[in-house]
């Protein structure tokens, strides 16, 4: 009998459903109802090759939308979009036409000093390691001289014009990502590409400088090339690539330039250091464009309070990632299968509870975030419920990797609500409160003057926008912290006292 009891205890301790389920002992009592294994399973499922990296407007993106819609239906959420084709699950969808651009393999990028042009060998840089073409670039076969334009800013009113002393027409411009420390406003990559295009540039290269700003250091971006889009679907950008800072530094050394000194000069003399470089760049690849559909997936849990049920709390997470590009698969585990999976688990917790919330909760799986917040913009422009009835929008993005601390951005809401949620969850030391974040699906809601709460896991995200963002990199403790905090936060907002 003694041996049987020991064996029983041993099996219970190592049972994954017990260890992370509602009877779990490793976590405080308040969070034992979070099914961590279900969250991790959903992250792994969304990373499966059958979803092809979940690129908006593709077959893989559509398949991932059907997966989420099926889960919403199974959980008992109600569809809010009026559609006739209910057999296909489209009553859960809010959609609009979208053309998907895919880069075809092989691609080719090279840099070489001008004086060696005739002798240069066609070795090229290695995709994924040394460069990643900007994903909505048009097909290109271009060799052109390089013009360095510092941060690529054209803003004379604020004292910076990186184009005033250099002619970039028919050249490939090279600019740092981000902005110099003295520049007051936020500038996006899309704005920089538009400026370069207006100045007559034939293409561009972007790179992270060796001197990281606080955001870059916090994310651990370093010198690695990242996947990114240049513009919205309405505009066709010039071709470009994100290149490795380490590789660029090697090329600069051959022309007696220093990568770090270029950036330092840009900081010390903004708008005055741009110049042609004795380098040629070669860009070559083909693209394929296919018509598709941008798909948000919406599910509603109706509130029970006769007065408050018309008020809405929206909790959302973008589902899309970069898909299959130029022979590379971008799985997007942290970005943002993690937020999607946490949202699904929170939906399960609320639908399982016999006490329904006072306010209604709208769960939204946004599409097209990586294409310029297309899904969240679509919802704000065509809401299924009046925006004036929305009490708050909660956005989950990148909640699977990091230190275990959460970075929470709050606008137009009392921060004491988030502090109260942290206390209820026993996570007061793991929640860091801030104000507005400039990027993410909360931005269109913020612009519409709706209160927003953005939840991101703090610390280094070493696989950000790279093919290495796989399910194996997810930290279960980080996911658990995010799930429990958001669960308590949503409970407070949906059930005002």
Structure tokens at 95: 């959609």
- β-partners of residue 3 are none
CB neighbourhood size of 149 (10 A): 30
Say how far apart CA 376 and CA 383 lie, in whole Å: 10
State residue 4's pLDDT score: 33
Tell me the mean pLDDT in the region 294-311.
97
Q: Where are the domains of the chain?
A: 1-25, 33-78+302-494, 101-288
Asked if residue 135 lies in contact with residue 122, where contact means CB atoms within 8 angstroms, the answer is: no
123: confidence class by pLDDT, cuts 50, 70, 90: low
With a pLDDT cut of 90, the percent of the chain lying above it is 78
CB atoms within 10 A of CB 453: 27
> Which pLDDT value is given to residue 466?
94
What was the pLDDT predicted at 89? 56
Q: Indicate the range of 48-62, 115-129, 198-212, 392-406 predicted with least confidence.
A: 115-129
pLDDT in tens, 459-479: 888 899 999 999 999 999 999
Report the pLDDT averaged over residues 16-21.
30
Query: If you count DSSP H runs as helices and E runs as strands, how many of each does the chain have, helices first?
Result: 13, 17
13 pLDDT more than 50: no
| Per-residue pLDDT at 353 | 86
Q: Do 33-78+302-494 and 101-288 fold alike per CATH?
A: no
Going by pLDDT thresholds of 50, 70 and 90, the confidence category of residue 1 is very low
Q: What is the pLDDT of residue 430?
A: 97
Confidence label for 234 from pLDDT (cuts 50, 70 and 90): low
- Structure token digits, residue 110: 């090279």
User: Residue 11: pLDDT above 50?
Assistant: no
Confidence of residue 452 (pLDDT cuts 50, 70, 90): very high
Confidence (pLDDT) at 148: 97
Query: Two tokens at 58?
Result: 């593709």
* CATH number of this structure's domain 101-288: 3.50.30.30
CATH code, 33-78+302-494: 3.40.630.10
Whether the predicted pLDDT of 120 surpasses 60: no
* Over residues 237-243, mean pLDDT: 94
Residue-level pLDDT at 219: 67
20: pLDDT strictly greater than 60: no
Residue 33: pLDDT band (50, 70, 90) is confident
Examine the pLDDT at 10 and tell me if it is beyond 70: no
The answer for 54, left when phi > 0, alpha when psi is -120 to 50, beta otherwise, is: left
**What number of CA atoms fall less than 13 Å from residue 448's CA on the CB side?**
23
Higher pLDDT among residues 40 and 188, named by residue = 40
Per-residue pLDDT reduced to its tens digit, 398-448: 999 999 999 999 999 999 999 999 999 999 999 999 999 888 999 999 999
Asked whether the beta carbons of 400 and 329 are under 8 A apart, the reply is no
Mean of pLDDT over the chain: 89
Q: DSSP label at 36?
A: H
pLDDT of residue 195: 95
* pLDDT above 80 (res 208): yes
Q: What is the mean pLDDT of residues 375-387?
A: 97
pLDDT per position as a tens digit, 67-91: 999 999 999 999 997 654 444 557 8
pLDDT, tens digit, 9 for 90 and up, residues 156-203: 999 999 999 999 999 999 999 999 999 988 898 999 999 999 999 999
The whole-number average pLDDT for the span 140-155 is: 97
- pLDDT at 17 exceeding the cut of 60: no
The radius of gyration computed from the CA coordinates of the chain, to the nearest angstrom, equals 24
**Percentage with pLDDT > 70 across the chain:** 88
Average pLDDT over residues 369-391: 96
State how far the Cα of 388 lies from the Cα of 405, in Å rounded to an integer: 32
Which of these, 131, 330, 370, lies nearest to 240 by C-alpha position?
131
pLDDT at residue 335 greater than cutoff 90: yes
| Packed helices 476-494 and 415-425: angle between N→C axes, nearest 10 degrees | 120
pTM of the model: 0.89
**Residue 92: per-residue pLDDT:** 95
Tell me if the bond preceding 459 is cis, omega within 30° of 0. no
Please report which confidence band the pLDDT of residue 233 belongs to, taking 50, 70 and 90 as the band edges. low
Whether the Cβ atoms of residue 233 and residue 135 lie closer than 8 Å to each other: no
- Calpha distance 103→326 (Å, rounded): 5
pLDDT at residue 358 is higher than 90: yes
Tell which wins on pLDDT, 146 or 24. Answer: 146
Band (6; pLDDT cuts 50, 70, 90): very low
- Give the residue-averaged pLDDT of 54-63: 97
């Amino acid at each position: 009998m003694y041996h049987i009891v020991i064996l029983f205890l041993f099996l219970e301790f190592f049972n994954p459903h017990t260890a992370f389920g509602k009877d779990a002992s490793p976590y405080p009592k308040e969070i034992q109802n979070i099914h961590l294994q279900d969250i991790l399973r959903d992250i792994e499922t969304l990373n499966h090759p059958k979803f092809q990296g979940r690129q908006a407007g593709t077959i893989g993106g559509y398949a991932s939308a059907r997966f989420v819609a099926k889960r919403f239906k199974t959980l008992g959420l109600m569809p809010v979009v009026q559609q006739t084709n209910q057999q296909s699950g489209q009553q859960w969808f809010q959609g609009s036409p979208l053309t998907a651009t895919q880069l075809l393999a092989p691609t080719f990028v090279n840099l070489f000093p001008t004086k060696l042009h005739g002798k240069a060998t066609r070795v090229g840089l290695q995709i994924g390691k040394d460069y990643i073409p900007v994903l909505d670039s048009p097909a290109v076969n271009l060799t052109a001289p390089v013009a360095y334009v510092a941060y690529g800013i054209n803003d004379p009113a604020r004292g910076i014009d990186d184009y005033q002393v250099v002619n970039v027409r028919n050249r490939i411009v090279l600019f740092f990502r981000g902005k110099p420390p003295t520049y007051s406003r936020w500038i996006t990559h899309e704005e920089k590409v538009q400026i370069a295009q207006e100045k007559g540039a034939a293409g561009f290269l972007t790179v992270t400088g060796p001197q990281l700003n606080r955001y870059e250091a916090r994310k651990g971006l370093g010198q690695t090339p990242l996947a990114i889009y240049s513009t919205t679907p309405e505009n066709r950008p010039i071709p470009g690539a994100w290149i490795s800072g380490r590789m660029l530094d090697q090329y600069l050394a051959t022309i007696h330039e220093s990568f770090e000194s270029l950036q330092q000069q840009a900081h010390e003399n903004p708008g005055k250091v741009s110049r042609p470089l004795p380098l040629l760049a070669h860009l070559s690849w083909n693209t394929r464009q296919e018509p598709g559909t941008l798909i948000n997936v919406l599910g509603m849990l109706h509130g029970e309070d006769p007065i408050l049920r018309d008020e809405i709390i929206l909790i959302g997470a973008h589902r899309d990632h970069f898909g299959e590009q130029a022979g590379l698969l971008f799985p997007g585990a942290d970005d943002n299968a993690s937020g999607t999976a946490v949202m699904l688990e929170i939906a399960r917790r609320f639908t399982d509870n016999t006490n329904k919330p006072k306010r209604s909760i709208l769960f939204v799986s946004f599409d097209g975030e990586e294409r310029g917040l297309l899904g969240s913009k679509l919802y704000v422009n065509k809401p299924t419920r009046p925006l004036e009835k929305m009490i708050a929008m909660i956005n989950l993005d990148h909640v699977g990797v990091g230190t275990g601390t959460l970075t929470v951005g709050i606008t137009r809401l009392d921060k004491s609500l988030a502090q109260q949620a942290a206390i209820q969850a026993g996570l007061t030391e793991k929640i860091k409160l801030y104000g507005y974040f400039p990027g993410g699906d909360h931005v269109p809601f913020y612009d519409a003057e709706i209160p927003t709460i953005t939840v991101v896991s703090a610390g280094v995200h070493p696989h950000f926008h790279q093919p290495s963002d796989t399910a194996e990199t997810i930290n279960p403790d980080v996911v658990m912290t995010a799930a429990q905090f958001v669960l308590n936060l949503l409970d407070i907002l949906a059930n005002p006292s």
